[in-house]
Amino acid sequence: MSESLLERAADEFRRQYGLPAAFCVRAPGRVNLLGEHTDYNGLPVLPMAIDRCIAIAARPRDGRRVRAVALDWGHEIESFELAPAIPKHPQGHWMNYIKAGMQGILAKLCPDEREGMTGCDMVIAGNIPAEAGLSSSSALVVASAMTLLHVHHRTVGRLTLAEWMAEAEWYVGTRGGGMDQAVCLLGQPDHALQIDFFPLRAQPVSWPKEYAVVLCDSGVRAKKSESALRAYNFRSAECRLAARLLNQALARNGWESQFQRLGDLLRPPFHFSYTEIRDLAESALRDTYRYSELVQALGEESRVIEILRDCSIPGDPGDSGPRFHCGKRYRHVAREALRVVKSRELLDRGEMEAFGELMLEGHASARDDFEISCPPLDQLVRIAMESGAVGARLTGAGFGGCTVNVVRRDQVKEFLAAVRSHPGLPPSITHPGMIFPVNAAPAAAYYPIS
């Protein structure tokens, strides 16, 4: 499938620019099997790179202009000049992801190198459903950065590039963690990855051949540019506020050191186990705080405002504004991290029924404590379980997008038929393009033009 995508990009390149492309880049999307909203808390995730990709055909050009055409988003040539601070396209525009990746590279170069950077022409093709929790955005960010690097014959280690790109994607307005960029650059066929953060590490986890991963798209579009972006950033702020509150609880128990993210508690001087982190998160926080209660607990309003501003939440929301569900959010994050660690052991032993149980627990926790599900996703999880899946849950940031389902490979046909013919689902979802198996795919790579 990705070969035809690369060919499509290369063919269209010649048509658009009247010259052959010099090379292609392919970058995969991902499905997250477990570990939702743990990455920016410094705790592990278990994603898999999938055989749905972004393909870019490119050719260097003189001067600092970058021109791009996206085949699935309008065929118009868009362009910008490479610069240390590239002005944004309107919020939500696909060009912002290209700008994010390229600006992310420029940011890491010394001024002389940055000055010497010339642009390129590009054609982009893709088959990752957009805004469906499958990381089409990070695939485009990574592919764009790799394009610029290749134009300048530069190589950067994959772990380093993944870290650069995690930060680079903040350009579009989400304060995400580093899962998507890391799995895009480090994924392996037939394997999921356990990814740990600060410092970034990835270990391949063999995926059992007898089981397939099937995605069911709810059709609800979690548009990063609108309310889902605000909701995502609000979760991130609640987690950071929870960290401040827990630091106080630790100080009351005699700890002098402070931590920033929950995952820091795994390391010196704390050396907590995952279970101890979970117990602390469950016992030391209240489910919900009003704004004034947070200010009182943290002692300084400016600290609260600083965290909110850092997560793109303007001003002082006051007590008439939203509540802060610090305890509920951290309960999800801490239990989810434990699920990732356990699930990895279960995969190693091939205990897929127990793995499926953890997926269902993860979904319930995402729905009830992290509150990122929605009725269509809950319904898809129920229907998947009635149709023979061993496990099912929402995947990615939530608020819409896809569910991920684990199904015995010899039962995939029956599963697809049962879900597609389910009377409870609207026809728009039962379409074959909305319910489809995926395979673990290799990491992003360069391809010569054939």
Q: Six-digit token pair at 134?
A: 């499958």
Q: Based on CB atoms, which residue is closest to ligand NG1, 135 or 343?
A: 135
Contact 358, 33 (CB under 8 A): no
**Least distance to ligand NG1 from the beta carbon of 102, Å?**
16
Q: Based on CB atoms, which residue is closest to ligand NG1, 41 or 188?
A: 41
DSSP structure class, residue 45 = B
Q: Six-digit token pair at 353?
A: 């029924």
Tracing tokens 């506020």 back to the chain, one arrives at: 241
Residues near ligand NG1 (CB under 6 A): 32, 36-37, 39-40, 133, 135, 137-138, 169, 174, 176-177, 179-180, 396-397
Q: What is the CA radius of gyration of the chain?
A: 22
Q: Six-digit token pair at 415?
A: 């599963």
Nearest to residue 50, comparing CAs of 114, 105, 132? 132
* Angle made by CA atoms 144, 150, 151, in degrees to the nearest 5: 90
**Cα end-to-end distance, the chain, whole Å:** 16
**Least distance to ligand NG1 from the beta carbon of 174, Å?**
4
H/E element, 335: helix 326-349
Active site residue 11: no
Residue nearest to ligand NG1 (CB): 176
**Least distance to ligand NG1 from the beta carbon of 133, Å?**
4
Q: Based on CB atoms, which residue is closest to ligand NG1, 33 or 117?
A: 33
Q: Based on CB atoms, which residue is closest to ligand NG1, 29 or 356?
A: 29
DSSP structure class, residue 303 = H
**Least distance to ligand NG1 from the beta carbon of 20, Å?**
33
Kindly provide the residue ranges of all beta strands, DSSP E only, lying in 182-276, ordered along the sequence.
191-196, 201-206, 211-217
**Least distance to ligand NG1 from the beta carbon of 95, Å?**
16
Catalytic residue among 39, 180, 264, 369: 180
**Catalytic residue IDs:** 180
